[in-house]
Amino acid sequence: MNKHIEKATQLRNATPMVNNCSQTILRVYAEELGLDENLAAGIAGNFGGGMKCGSTCGAITAGFMILGAKGIESPFAVNEFRRRIAEKHDGMTDCAELLRANAQKGGAKKPHCDNMIFEAIELIDELTKEAE
């Protein structure tokens, strides 16, 4: 298993779970970006729950932040990240829509959000490797 996904799994399985999707991803990459994990969680705090209003998924916004912090800022790469996630979810990228569609299929929230986090991490790592 990928070291970033292992750390995300640990964070998401902690009791009590205190990290939203965005915070989880920023904490996972904090050390390699030279950030304190608590600062990373603070920066990402308001991006969970689709910026706390059901808008763009926190895993996606965190992905944009990590890609930018790693120097990947080209419109092509950023759009590729968003497009590939959207393709896996019937074109949806907003938290509220993703959660509603998941619930309609009988899915629970936490496994859905965990999967969004893992998808984002895999794609961040892939795009980062391609950029090297």
Q: pLDDT (tens digit, 9 = 90+) per residue, 9-35?
A: 999 999 998 999 999 999 999 999 999
CA distance 69 to 57: 19
The stretch 117-122 carries a mean pLDDT of 98
The stretch 63-69 carries a mean pLDDT of 97
Does position 100 have pLDDT exceeding 90, yes or no? yes
User: Token pair 């989880």 is at which residue?
Assistant: 24
CA distance 25 to 118: 9
Does position 1 have pLDDT exceeding 80, yes or no? no
**Residue ranges making up the domain that contains 125:** 3-131
Does position 104 have pLDDT exceeding 80, yes or no? yes
Across the chain, mean pLDDT equals 96
Domain count, the chain: 1
| pLDDT, tens only, 32-62 | 999 999 999 999 999 999 999 999 999 999 9
Res 131: pLDDT: 82
* pLDDT category of residue 106 using cuts at 50, 70 and 90: very high
CA distance 102 to 90: 11
